[in-house]
Amino acid sequence: MFAVLGSSGHVGSAVVEALLDASCAVVAVIRDETNVGNLRARAAQMEIADVGDTDRMRDVFHQGGGGDAPSTSTLPPVSIDTDEVEHRSQASCLPPPIPMLA
């Protein structure tokens, strides 16, 4: 079984979908229940947990069992440019550069 953090996000939900499509057991970990999206429809097991809550995360990971990662050849190809998505996410979080005064 695989525990996927950030399962309601763009990349995390794609990971959950790929694992489910490859018939892997998945625990979708989300921060709050308002972001369930289509995870419930896909019958992924969901856990509400904040990554800052060490005891709760320990429980989630013990439940996941650790499992072996599937061979990449068994997973469908990723159809998005994850680097580009990550750069966009970072850019949206960072303030604009401050111009230097001469």
Q: Which domain holds residue 13?
A: 1-47
Instruction: Say if 18 falls within a structural domain.
Output: yes
Please provide the average confidence, as pLDDT, over all residues in the chain: 75
Please state, in angstroms and as integers, the Cα–Cα distance from residue 22 to each residue in 1, 3, 71, 72, 75, following that order.
12, 15, 10, 10, 6
Is residue 101 domain-resident? no
Total domains present in the chain: 1
Is residue 78 in a domain?
no
What does the pLDDT look like over 70-82, one tens digit per residue? 444 455 565 667 7
Mean pLDDT computed over 1-15: 85
The structure's pTM equals: 0.56
Percentage, residues of the chain above pLDDT 70: 74
Residues 13-25: tens digit of each pLDDT = 888 889 988 888 8
